């Protein structure tokens, strides 16, 4: 569609084309002659006769030549036709100029074209030529040019685009009155676009509703049942939701730039955090400590006390308030097979929750923080919940969400514990300090800043698989293996004796004996079973104590 003349008014089609009439010649005396009304020709419909314009004689003084525009028909018949057209809302017909006489000058100054031939610049001419409406060029019927050029044989909007004679029948196009405007076209395009968009959206919705998927995959959505998404308080999700706000990720950095990452949890309402000694050891002397909660709040911290032998430490947060401690359970009431939940920051991934069961109890474990030759000993809870480096110091929870242990060590494929130099992952063997023992140590550290260890007053071999804990021939530094007037001395124990039981617990090595003793309190009375010279003996013994960490 051409847009050359968008916005220009289109001339309405006449109800019938005008009939050209020869211009009467001027009289010799210059007097104006009345126009003659020619009789209808056989090829013209009756009543379709145009009146010729009157013209004054050339050279008549005081008179200008005038031209009367052709009208459709003559007399009352034409007026009646115009009145009916007006009543029906049809636009008035255009007035066409009368054709030039044969042999007269054309509007372009050349020889006149034959009667009925299309003229350039008039409606029947080619678009874009001079004189076409909307383009520059000579205008027909200009002042002083009489007669004007003849009209085209057929208007350009007639059926077939031309080729007929004047008076040939054709169907008049029905056009609304008034000029056409660009706005109507633009509005029509917009409406069409909106309709097309609506149809496209409707088709897409229809296809989606019927599973019309080009990949051939049909999925099923779960129902939005509030009962399904509501977590029971006793579920793992419910327990984790309550516990996570009380768990922190601890970052420790020593004066030499070395550091470590571990976990801790809120121990009491005073803001003390319970964790492992090997988590904070690097930042304990002249280093820096910080603790970050699950909500992103970060606090500076300081060491209150730490026990190397127990692998327990207590730190205090600075300027912290509103802390909620985790509930403490009873580790001596735990049974093998009970559910466990471990929370920590394995490999620095904070707020990680894993689950498992208690796979064993009273498992003797000796571990080291890797920074000293001193080991820690525990009679541990064993769990298959995934525990990795970074979980150290985090809580091990039971099915109620109560703390039953502090995650401390793992058995890795390389044999390194959590405090070792290896970074192997979990193989399903994790170990936690029983919370009963950890609570006793924490209370001592908060009260005095120093740990207190129960002891029997005898040095034992640390060899594994000896069938028991053998009392050494010499003690640390070359001294006596059995402390004079100590608990073992008073009970009659000597170097070379092999202790096989502590109360009802079987002792298979020195570390096992130490770990089992440290589950007790100083001054507790225990029953010792031992072998000497092939004979088995049983004695009662009251445990002594040692304050602080030392090599003795």
In order of start, what are the domains of the chain with their CATH numbers?
A: 236-317 (2.40.10.10), 338-411+426-448 (2.40.10.10), 452-547 (2.30.42.10)
Instruction: Give CA–CA dist 445/309, Å, rounded.
Output: 13
Q: How many CA atoms lie within 13 A of 55 on its CB side?
A: 19
537 catalytically annotated: no
Instruction: Give CA–CA dist 214/24, Å, rounded.
Output: 82
Task: Give the model's confidence band at 139: pLDDT under 50 very low, under 70 low, under 90 confident, else very high.
Answer: very low
Contacts of 222 (CB under 8 A, 6+ apart): 228
pLDDT of 550 reads: 67
Stretch 409-437: mean pLDDT: 73
Range in 78-92, 128-142, 338-352, 443-457 with the lowest mean pLDDT? 128-142
Indicate whether 286 pLDDT > 90. no
Residue 547: CB atoms within 10 A of its CB come to: 12
Given the residues 153, 260, 272, 278, select the one marked as catalytic. 278
Task: Give the model's confidence band at 65: pLDDT under 50 very low, under 70 low, under 90 confident, else very high.
Answer: very low
DSSP 368: E
Check residues 534 and 164 and name the one with the higher pLDDT. Answer: 534
| Per-position b or e across 279-296, b if 16+ CB within 10 A of its CB | bbbbbbeebebbbbbeee
Instruction: Give CA–CA dist 462/466, Å, rounded.
Output: 9
The residue among 345, 162, 147 whose CA lies nearest residue 244 is 345
Stretch 244-254: mean pLDDT: 95
pLDDT of 424 reads: 66
Given the residues 246, 290, 311, 459, select the one marked as catalytic. 311
Measure CA of the first residue to CA of the last residue in the chain; give whole Å.
Answer: 106
> Residue 105: beta bridge partners?
111
Given the residues 331, 350, 392, 408, select the one marked as catalytic. 392
Whole-number average pLDDT of the chain = 73
Percentage with pLDDT > 90 across the chain: 45
Chain Cα centroid distance, residue 90: 63
Q: What is the largest CA-CA distance in the chain?
A: 174
pLDDT of 210 reads: 56
Indicate whether 197 pLDDT > 70. no
Stretch 239-268: mean pLDDT: 92
Task: Give the model's confidence band at 207: pLDDT under 50 very low, under 70 low, under 90 confident, else very high.
Answer: low
338 catalytically annotated: no
Q: What angle do CA 530, 534, 540 make, to 5 degrees?
A: 20
Residue 195: CB atoms within 10 A of its CB come to: 10
pLDDT of 211 reads: 53
Percentage with pLDDT > 70 across the chain: 57
pLDDT for 494-504, tens place per residue? 999 999 999 99
pLDDT of 543 reads: 97
Stretch 400-424: mean pLDDT: 72
Task: Give the model's confidence band at 256: pLDDT under 50 very low, under 70 low, under 90 confident, else very high.
Answer: confident
The residue among 83, 162, 71, 94 whose CA lies nearest residue 125 is 162
Contacts 24+ apart (CB under 8 A), 414-417: 417/365, 417/367, 417/368
Indicate whether 290 pLDDT > 90. yes
pLDDT of 255 reads: 79
129 catalytically annotated: no
pLDDT of 57 reads: 39
Task: Give the model's confidence band at 372: pLDDT under 50 very low, under 70 low, under 90 confident, else very high.
Answer: low
Torsions phi, psi of 532, nearest 5?
-150, 120
Stretch 149-164: mean pLDDT: 48
The residue among 31, 85, 73 whose CA lies nearest residue 54 is 31
Stretch 2-19: mean pLDDT: 44
């Amino acid at each position: 569609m051409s847009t050359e003349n968008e916005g220009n008014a289109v001339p309405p089609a006449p109800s019938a084309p005008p009939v050209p009439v020869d211009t009467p010649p001027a009289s010799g005396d210059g007097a104006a002659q009345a126009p003659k009304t020619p009789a209808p020709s056989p090829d013209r419909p009756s009543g379709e006769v145009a009146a010729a314009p009157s013209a004054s004689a050339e050279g008549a003084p005081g008179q200008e030549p005038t031209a009367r525009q052709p009208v459709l028909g003559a007399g009352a018949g034409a007026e009646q036709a115009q009145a009916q057209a007006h009543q029906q809302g049809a636009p008035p017909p255009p007035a066409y100029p009368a054709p030039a006489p044969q042999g007269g000058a054309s509007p372009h100054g050349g020889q006149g074209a034959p009667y009925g031939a299309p003229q350039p610049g008039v409606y029947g001419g080619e678009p874009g030529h001079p004189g076409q409406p909307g383009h520059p060029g000579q205008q027909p019927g200009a002042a002083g040019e009489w007669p004007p050029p003849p009209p085209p044989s057929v208007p350009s909007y007639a059926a077939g685009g031309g080729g007929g004679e004047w008076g040939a029948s054709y169907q008049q196009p029905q056009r609304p009155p008034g000029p056409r405007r660009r706005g109507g076209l633009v509005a029509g395009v917009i409406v069409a676009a909106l309709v097309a968009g609506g149809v496209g959206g409707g088709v897409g919705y229809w296809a989606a509703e019927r599973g019309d998927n080009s990949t051939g995959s049909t999925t099923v959505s779960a129902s939005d049942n509030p009962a399904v998404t509501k977590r029971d308080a006793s579920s793992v999700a419910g327990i984790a939701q309550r516990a996570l706000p009380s768990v922190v990720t601890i970052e420790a950095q020593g004066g030499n730039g070395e550091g470590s990452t571990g976990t801790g949890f809120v121990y009491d309402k005073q803001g003390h955090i319970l964790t492992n000694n090997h988590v904070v050891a690097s930042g304990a002397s002249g280093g820096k400590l910080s603790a970050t909660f699950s909500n992103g709040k970060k606090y500076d911290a300081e060491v209150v006390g730490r026990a190397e032998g127990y692998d327990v430490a207590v730190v205090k947060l600075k300027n912290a308030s509103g802390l909620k401690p985790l509930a403490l359970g009873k580790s001596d009431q735990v049974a093998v097979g009970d559910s466990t939940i471990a929370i920590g920051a394995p490999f620095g991934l904070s707020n990680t929750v894993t689950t498992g069961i208690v796979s064993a109890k009273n498992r003797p474990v000796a571990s080291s923080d890797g920074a000293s030759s001193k080991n820690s000993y525990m009679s541990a809870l064993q769990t298959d919940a995934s525990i990795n480096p970074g979980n150290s110091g985090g809580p091990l929870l039971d099915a109620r969400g109560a703390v039953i242990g502090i995650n401390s060590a793992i058995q890795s494929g390389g044999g390194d514990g959590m405090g070792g130099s290896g970074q192997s992952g979990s193989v399903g063997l994790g170990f936690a300090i029983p919370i009963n023992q950890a609570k006793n140590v924490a209370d001592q550290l908060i009260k005095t800043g120093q740990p207190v260890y129960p002891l029997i007053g005898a040095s034992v071999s640390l060899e594994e698989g000896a069938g028991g804990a053998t009392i050494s021939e010499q003690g640390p530094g070359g001294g006596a293996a059995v402390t004079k007037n100590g608990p073992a001395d008073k009970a009659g124990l000597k170097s070379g004796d092999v202790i096989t039981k502590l109360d009802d617990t079987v002792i298979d090595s020195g570390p096992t004996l130490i770990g089992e003793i440290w589950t007790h309190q100083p001054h507790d009375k225990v029953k010792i079973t031992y072998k000497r010279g092939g004979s088995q003996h049983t004695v009662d013994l009251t445990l002594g104590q040692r304050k602080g960490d030392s090599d003795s």
